[in-house]
Every structure is written in structure tokens, then in C-alpha cells.
A and B are shown apart, each in its own frame.
Chain A
């Protein structure tokens, strides 16, 4: 196995209106097969990707919210949400989905890997990442 790299997926677009959010999710799921250290960063309209309660029954679109909830099972260890973006849209952590994570080897468990971070932390986390996918 080659060395593990720190991957960050940077999501800045709202779901549904464009294909970006859906495509990003596909890439995350594909990337999960390669055993890298993966985190997701949602900022700007990307924070809308994690808002719970989506109902596409009258839209003829697939509701891909349930897939976000499974990302912990696909090796995504952190799902960060930019605090400023959330506040600008009148949202709080209560509006967001919860995603559980478990390491099946060590049995380490985290109830919710969705974490709100401030601007300084966002910059630091991006700088620490070896690859950032937009």
C-alpha cells in the first residue's frame, strides 16, 4: 500500500441547482476505495449540502441527502462546516445532519463528525491538507 495522504474535498455549491454537489459526492465515494485520510469542508453555499429535511418528491430529482449520512462509513473522518457561511445563511448546527463514524479495527466511535469551524481553523485545515479537491 502506498503512503496515506490527507485529502480534503472542498464543497462550495448548493445542492440541486447545479451538478457540483452531486459530482463531488461521487468523487468522495470513489476516493473512499483508496484508503486515504479524507475530510470534507463545506463553506459558502456548500453548507446547504448538509442541511437536513430535504424532500424532492415534487421535484423529479434524486434526494442525495441520505448518501451524505453514510460518508462516515466510507472513510470520511471529518466533515467541517465554515461558521461564517452558516451564520450568513441564518443556520445553526441544529439544522445540519449528523454523521456517525466508526473505525472497525479499533472500534473507536464518534457520534457526529460534522463540526463547525471558524475562519482561522478553515485556513489551517486547508494548509495541512496535501490535496484539496474543489
Chain B
């Protein structure tokens, strides 16, 4: 029952992250990729929503997409784990299935 939910849209433009959080169970993982990584930043209007999800879900963000968008480590919400492509593969392997929120 532990699924991996990938989100690739900005939380300020699309409801993908909000819906992914709403539709994911405790114990599941949420991986932010592409424009989805904006959801990992501190001080935004989406921060509380992300922190709320982190109570019983694990949130990850993809390193190369953070780098391209100039999101430095000190801007990332505490507790979000940064993964590279190999880490992405590990997550896919460790979870039952992948659900993509586009």
C-alpha cells in the first residue's frame, strides 16, 4: 500500500500537489520533480500544506531540478529529502507502484 506519488507541476499554477496530498495514504512517498520542486521551498503560500503532508508521509525532491531552478539547500523545507536520479530509481523500486500527478 506504500505508493510513490510524483508531482511535476508548480503548486502555484496547478492543483497537482494539493490533489496528490489529498489522495495519498499515510506511509506513502511524494516525490517532487520538474516544476513540482517549487513546492519544496520555504516561505511560500504552499509551505503549510506540504508540512502538513509530511506528518505521516515522506516528501522528496529531485536534485537536478532543484539546481536548475536555483533552489539552494537552505531554501528547502526541513525534512524534505533530496534525491538524485539513482535515488528516484530506488524509490520506484522500494514502493508498490508509481502514481504520476501531472
Contact = CB atoms under 8 A, between A and B. Distances in A.
Interface of A: 13-18, 44-45, 48, 51-59, 61, 63, 88-91, 95
B5 interface: no
17 contacts: A14-B35, A14-B38, A16-B35, A17-B9, A17-B35, A18-B35, A44-B12, A51-B70, A55-B67, A55-B68, A56-B67, A56-B68, A58-B63, A88-B12, A89-B41, A89-B43, A91-B43
A24 B44 CA distance: 26
A53 B68 contact: no
A16 B34 contact: yes
A15 B70 CA distance: 11
Interface of B: 8-10, 12-13, 34-35, 38, 41-45, 47, 63-65, 67-70, 72, 75, 84
A90 B47 contact: yes
B contact face: mostly helix, strand, loop, or mixed: loop
Contacts of B42: 90
A70 B34 CA distance: 26
Nearest to A63: B68
A122 B67 CA distance: 30
A28 to B, nearest CB: 20
B7 to A, nearest CB: 12
Nearest to B37: A17
A96 to B, nearest CB: 10
Given A17-B35, A45-B13, A90 B8 contact: no
A51 B72 CA distance: 11
Given A45-B35, A58-B63, 7 more contacts: A14-B10, A16-B68, A16-B69, A54-B69, A57-B67, A88-B12, A89-B41
